[in-house]
Amino acid sequence: MYVFGVQHLIAPQLINPGNLRITRQDHSLRALTAVWLLPAVTPIVPATTGALLARTILPFSSSHATITLFVASVLLFLGLGLTFMILPLYMLRLITEGLPSPTMIVSKFLPVGPCGQGGMAFVVIGQVFAEMSQQATGSNPLLAEPQPWIILGVLGGFFLWTFGIWWILLSLLAIYETFKSQRPNFGVGFWGMVFPLGVYALLTWQLAEALNSTFFRILFAVLSLVVFLLWAALAIITIYCIFQDCEALFTAPCLASCPNFEATLDRSRRNSQEHSGDENC
């Protein structure tokens, strides 16, 4: 299932969205939102799964574990590379255009997702490489000692953990400023806060185990409680709103400014005509 998932990940989730944004869609800096990060975070999730799978396979087949860990590492760096290409654009949009619209303000939590999931993948991949070095029987110098792999994994995870703290604080301040001036109506987009905070809590737990830190364990307990209360509150509000105004609840604000089919088709035809004209010249 893991191999099947990876095979169906690259083209539909990464290549197609990137190609369509360049060749088929019109964009402006004001319309840029953190939703752009969703295709980038997609490969980071199976990267963590691949690292956990490699740990399970390692006692039975070191070669298969190595291949699985290699694929997981590629997916991790691919997802983080795309993330750190999009985040500067999003930061430029925040500085030049201000906060997103009230209906999109909760999307500011989305950058926490790649930080939490990517940091967790870093820690687990480092641990699995360390376990491989302990079982290594060859002369590969990269697997001579396990400690450097653990240190690299913890450093990568801690870097993304600190980066995630900055985004969490920035998001909380932005939500406070927005709710103080104009409180948005509840919508399905509010659920976008659960996954980023959830994976960030898991990263905190991984760091607590790797560093044997009481501070991180306490912080993990606090974050877990916050995520649970947030999930419960959103579930209750969602059930209540379903019986009140179902249409408004399931309207995605991120699609409000998307071009319709006719506009996209006209643009494609215009580009084709211009290309044909250039060839005739």
Residue 277 lies in a domain: no
Q: How many structural domains compose the chain? A: 1
Residue 42 lies in a domain: yes
Residue 212 lies in a domain: yes
**DSSP calls for 173-215:** HHHHHHHHH-PPPP-GGGGGGHHHHHHHHHHHHHHHHHHT-HH
pLDDT winner (highest mean) among 60-64, 138-142, 256-260: 60-64
Confidence of residue 261 (pLDDT cuts 50, 70, 90): very low
Instruction: Find the mean pLDDT for residues 81-97.
Output: 90
Model-wide pTM > 0.85: no
Residue 266 lies in a domain: no
Residue 51 lies in a domain: yes
Rg (CA), the chain: 22
DSSP reduced 3-state for 258: coil
Range of the domain at 21: 2-254
Residue 268 lies in a domain: no
Residue 100 lies in a domain: yes
Dmax (CA) of the chain = 72
Residue 265 lies in a domain: no
